[in-house]
Chain A
Amino acid sequence: MASYSTNEFRSGLKVLLDGDPCIILENEFVKPGKGQAFNRVKLRNLNSNRVWERTFKSGESLEAADVIDLDMEYLYTDGEFWHFMLTDGSFEQHAADAKAVGDTTKWLKEQDVYTVTLYNGAPLSVTPPNFVELEVVDTDPGMKGDTAQGGSKPATLTTGAVVNVPLFITIGEVLKVDTRTGDYVSRVKSS
């Protein structure tokens, strides 16, 4: 496996640290004019999602992690695994376990495309697009005339996700939701 020396460190680089795949978030170069150079690095452990701070002497190196992000279509779940298929026409399928899918389950809609991160060929995590469009399956009855008010109510979406929506939203409407915050964005015109 390739390795990266401190000169090659940059944010986004995927490396192995203490046996875990990590992504470099920040890489600060520190050096007194005539003195020893150091890299102060912030990394996210892709297994635990914890952020680590480590210091390296200039010239040290880290092994590259075989981590790759691929676009895949969500197919179905059998209860134990969530099945995805590459969108490159290869029809290659990958099964992600509950740990890899994590909180993304609540945004998973069949036939939508997600970013699946593979580590040594197996799904490590699944990231939803920033915005998803999902149908409301349950919410209190709509209250017409309240459109200008600031009030909100919970609404359950097809995936089971619950988001706060304006009072005028009714069952059957399709909503645009920001997956990063879980916030309602807008109604989507049904086609």
Chain B
Amino acid sequence: MTGTVWRPSAAQAALESRARQLAYVRGFFADRSVLEVETPILGRHSVTDLNLDSVQADVSAQGVSGGWLQTSPEYHMKRLLAAGSGPIFQVSRVFRDGERGRRHNPEFSMLEWYRPGFDDQSLMSEVGDLVCGWLGCERPRQLTYREALLAYAHLDPFDVSDHQLRRRCEEWLDPIQLADMSRDACLDMIMSFVVEPDLGRDFPVFLTAYPASQAALARTSECEGIRVAHRFELYVDGLELCNGYWELTDPEEQRRRFEADNVLRKRAGKPVMAIDEPFLAAIGSGLPDCAGVALGLDRLLMVKMGTQDIADVLGFPFERA
């Protein structure tokens, strides 16, 4: 290992395919007059999400210090949208502490884009164009979060009791480990252990209509008497490729969600994140009605190359970097 550790873990063919993929993406958006932008990777704020751990940077210049490597370029891109950028896309490196596995690397390539005037349905259609145009796959079909859990795990996420959910998770965890697991964490577990591995096997699948508690930055609405989030994820061959929202534009609701996140972070013993006030000010000044999506380019390349290991498409995964 020590003798070859300087070498890239990806084959030359994967590096060449990566370059073609990047050219394809840029061509796709040029054809649709979506402007390519660059926003900071190093920001003074980062996200409040309970399950995203930002990498802290220790930067000091001109009396300003601190900083975080961004987990996604979302907040800066929404500030551009609020300033009147029109449709924009970005290819950037993003960072998430602790994430390393066959599908994860703490640094990865994200394609993120925003479409003023689009809703989740029209953006899903565009994601389908981009992904199918590159992979040559069948058009994605839609499955609601509820339908997926009913079909694969035989439980209704909106009806199952907390007690039943915990009992279900005892397949993998001791009651002691489960004691502090939230309802959403239990659902995450069933989703990733039972549902995901089979999702998108025969044809790509958009998972839609997430529980409102998992809305993140998506707007919510009533659907058949249940409050759901206008959030979607695309799965191909059991691999989660993207996460998109019909974006929340209400600054007060946004602030409430940040504060609620921080309560959960504190309870979990994680650092409380300072709220990104310039971002909230931008939303307050008027984020245009829009939909946005973040798509993992390394994973898209994994599907293209037919590999199960992200190291096969990365020049240098973290342990070699």
Task: Give A142 Cβ to nearest chain B Cβ, in Å.
Answer: 44
Residues on A with beta carbons closer than 8 Å to the beta carbon of B269: 59
Name the residue on A nearest B98 (C-beta).
A7
| Inter-chain contact B101/A28, CB cutoff 8 Å | yes
Of A34-42, A94-102, A150-158, A174-182, the one touching chain B: A34-42
Known contacts A36-B184, A38-B192, then 13 further A-B pairs from the complex at CB < 8 Å, ordered by chain A residue:
A6-B98, A29-B103, A30-B192, A32-B191, A32-B196, A33-B233, A33-B240, A34-B49, A35-B184, A37-B98, A38-B193, A40-B172, A59-B269
Most B Cβ at <10 Å: residue of A7, A32, A55, A60: A32
> Interface digits, B202-214 against A, CB 8 Å rule (1 contact, 0 not)?
0000000000001
| Inter-chain contact A30/B193, CB cutoff 8 Å | yes
B99 within 8 A of A: yes
| Inter-chain contact A34/B243, CB cutoff 8 Å | yes
B173 within 8 A of A: yes
| Inter-chain contact A55/B172, CB cutoff 8 Å | yes
- Complex Cα distance, B171 from A55, in Å, reads 10
B104, B173, B191, B193: the one within 8 Å of A57 (CB): B173
Most B Cβ at <10 Å: residue of A28, A36, A57, A59: A36
- B residues 84-137 near A (Cβ < 8 Å) are 98-104
Residues on A with beta carbons closer than 8 Å to the beta carbon of B51: 31, 34-37
- Complex Cα distance, B213 from A35, in Å, reads 11
| Inter-chain contact A36/B173, CB cutoff 8 Å | no
Task: Give B216 Cβ to nearest chain A Cβ, in Å.
Answer: 6
B52 within 8 A of A: yes
Task: Give A61 Cβ to nearest chain B Cβ, in Å.
Answer: 12
- A residues 1-45 near B (Cβ < 8 Å) are 6-7, 28-38, 40
| Inter-chain contact A34/B214, CB cutoff 8 Å | yes
B98, B102, B214, B243: the one within 8 Å of A58 (CB): B98
Closest 9 CB pairs of A and B: A29-B101, A35-B188, A36-B185, A55-B172, A36-B188, A7-B98, A33-B243, A30-B192, A32-B192
Q: With contacts A34-B214, A35-B51 known, is A28 near B191, CB below 8 A? A: no
B272 within 8 A of A: no
| Inter-chain contact B104/A35, CB cutoff 8 Å | no
B177 within 8 A of A: yes
Residues on B with beta carbons closer than 8 Å to the beta carbon of A55: 172-173
> Interface digits, B41-85 against A, CB 8 Å rule (1 contact, 0 not)?
000000001011000000000000000000000000000000000
| Inter-chain contact A38/B102, CB cutoff 8 Å | no
Q: With contacts A32-B196, A35-B188 known, is A57 near B181, CB below 8 A? A: yes
Residues on B with beta carbons closer than 8 Å to the beta carbon of A7: 98
Task: Give B308 Cβ to nearest chain A Cβ, in Å.
Answer: 11
B189 within 8 A of A: yes
- Complex Cα distance, B189 from A37, in Å, reads 8
- Complex Cα distance, B51 from A29, in Å, reads 14
| Inter-chain contact B100/A31, CB cutoff 8 Å | no
- B residues 236-265 near A (Cβ < 8 Å) are 240, 243
> Interface digits, A145-182 against B, CB 8 Å rule (1 contact, 0 not)?
00000000000000000000000000000000000000
| Inter-chain contact B177/A60, CB cutoff 8 Å | yes
> What are 18 residue pairs bridging A and B, where the CB atoms are less than 8 Å apart in the complex?
A7-B98, A30-B101, A31-B101, A32-B192, A32-B240, A34-B51, A34-B216, A35-B51, A35-B184, A35-B185, A35-B192, A36-B181, A36-B185, A36-B188, A37-B51, A55-B172, A57-B185, A59-B269
Residues on B with beta carbons closer than 8 Å to the beta carbon of A60: 177
Residues on A with beta carbons closer than 8 Å to the beta carbon of B104: 29, 31
Q: With contacts A37-B98, A57-B173, A60-B177 known, is A31 near B216, CB below 8 A? A: no
